[in-house]
Amino acid sequence: MVDDHDVVRRGVNRLLSGDPSIEIVGEASDTAEAVDRVPDAHPDVAVLDVRLPDGSGVEACREIRSHDESVKCLMLTSFADDEALFDAVMGGAAGYVPKVITGDDLISAVREVAAGHSLIDPAATAEVLERLREGGARSGEPEERPGRLSTREREFLDLIGEGLTNREIAEHAGLDERTVRRQVSQLLHKLGMARGAQGAGAT
């Protein structure tokens, strides 16, 4: 469980621990702590808040999955559907749930992703990625174009949309993983700025 608010972590941990099929193996309050602790804890599922003090759940998810692809990430978000979907897809998460979700639904979501199921609709993913690729606004919003993506950024966006980790993208592109991590971070920042310009808020 990764969240910078102690009360939230304790509440979610208590909720999930109440189910006999779920064991909490660790918790973290930020991206660095999560990336450091996950390898030893080796969880089946990482539940991550989208907003973290030293980055975002999106970056944390990408780092976690680059170290261990078997970990399924579930994003906790207070964003609207398109934004939540964007964060989950860019992070390589198996799904996302709103923070207003009921306890039973959260338990069900954890079980679903632990079983290898995706909570993300492929058609909705394709639609959101296409709008991002063209630098356009989301559905129902005015067309504001804060900047087109470069050829390399489009390539990375497509690979991320296919669920590739930073390590896999590095292998595909013939680049060092640190270079890919930096470029993906820059891409996330650029897209975050675009969403902010559209009144969507930043990751």
Give the model confidence (pLDDT) of 122-155 as tens digits: 887 887 778 777 664 444 444 444 457 788 888 9
pLDDT at 150: 84
pLDDT at 22: 95
Query: Which residue in 124, 119, 116 sits closest to 105, CA to CA?
Result: 119
Decide: pTM greater than 0.75.
Answer: yes
The ranges of the chain with pLDDT < 50 are: 136-146, 193-203
pLDDT at 13: 92
- Cβ 92 vs Cβ 119: under 8 Å: no
d(CA 163, CA 152): 17
Strand ranges in 28-166 using DSSP code E only, listed in sequence order: 45-49, 51-52, 55-56, 72-77, 95-98
Residue type, 115: A
Count the neighbouring beta carbons within 10 Å of the beta carbon of residue 153: 19
CA-CA-CA-CA torsion for 92, 112, 78, 55, nearest 10 degrees?
A: -30
Backbone angles phi, psi at 95, to 5 degrees: 175, 180
pLDDT at 147: 57
Report the DSSP pairing between strands 45-49 and 51-52: unpaired
pLDDT at 179: 93
Q: Which two tokens stand for residue 196?
A: 């902010």
Strand-pair partners of 72: 45
Give the DSSP H/E element, type plus range, for residue 6. helix 6-17
pLDDT at 78: 80
